[in-house]
Amino acid sequence: MRIDQMNWDDARESLDANGFALLPQVLPQDECQSLKALYDEPGHFRKTVVMERHGYGQGEYKYFQYPLPEPIQALRRAIYKAIAPVANEWASLLKLGIHYPAEHTGFLDECHRNEQCRATPLLLKYGPGGYNAMHQDLYGDVYFPLQAVVFLSEPGVDYFGGEFVLTEQAPRAQSKATVLVPKQGDVLLFTTQFRPKKGTRGYARVTMKHGVSTVHSGSRYTLGIIFHDAK
């Protein structure tokens, strides 16, 4: 895992400019395969969601339960620590009066004080016809403004279609979409709810949502890393 040796300056710059950042080749292929294989080991999970039953899209996902598998726990902590300064800068630009602790354990303490104690990292699996409707991952009043997706399948090899879609909506403007096709082993960081964007009268809130376009063939697995816990 190269997350600790990474140069985070580019990622932080991209988060400020665009609300997302792609970290290429964070996980080697064998680690992606072993994370994918966890999907079929029920002991790791607290809940399975069949997306079509809730109008969320088509596909299935499973929330991990604590304790998280070690590589996921390590990624969650390392990424949080690297981007907490961005979260704090955004909160201050938007005058939210929120301070995020420097370490993930400190932030989880805040979740726990708000009765948000259940793990939120998840594995998602989409087959042909699968998609994920545009959404935000909020699970209570305490939330972190950024999250990560680890791409476990190789586009154009393991699956076709299934692009990652981000939309942003500035006040009084139409939505703008960005479509990304990260490679296996890449990590994408993006805004969970809203981010600051400089306008004519200071910083405005730009609302972001994410989703996945239809998978045409094959199977597409991702690991979602959300930093707040759920009620």
Residues near Fe ion (CB under 5 A) are: 137
**80-109 footprint of ligand AKG as x/- string (CB under 6 A):** ------------------------------
Say if CB 136 and CB 193 are below 8 A apart: yes
Say if CB 198 and CB 212 are below 8 A apart: no
Which residue, 11 or 212, is less far from ligand AKG as judged by CB?
Answer: 212
Alpha carbons 221 and 212: distance in angstroms, whole number? 11
Which residue, 18 or 92, is less far from ligand AKG as judged by CB?
Answer: 18
Q: Which two tokens stand for residue 39?
A: 């999907």
The terminus-to-terminus CA distance of the chain in angstroms comes to 31
Residue 119 binding ligand AKG, by CB under 6 A: no
Which residue, 101 or 211, is less far from ligand AKG as judged by CB?
Answer: 211
**Cβ partners under 8 Å of residue 131, min gap 6:** 57, 58, 59, 162, 211, 212, 213, 214, 215
Residue 191 binding ligand AKG, by CB under 6 A: no
Report the residue from 131, 206, 224, 227 that binds ligand AKG according to the rule CB under 6 A.
Answer: 224
Q: Which residues bind ligand AKG (CB under 6 A)?
A: 124, 132, 137, 149, 164, 210, 212, 222, 224
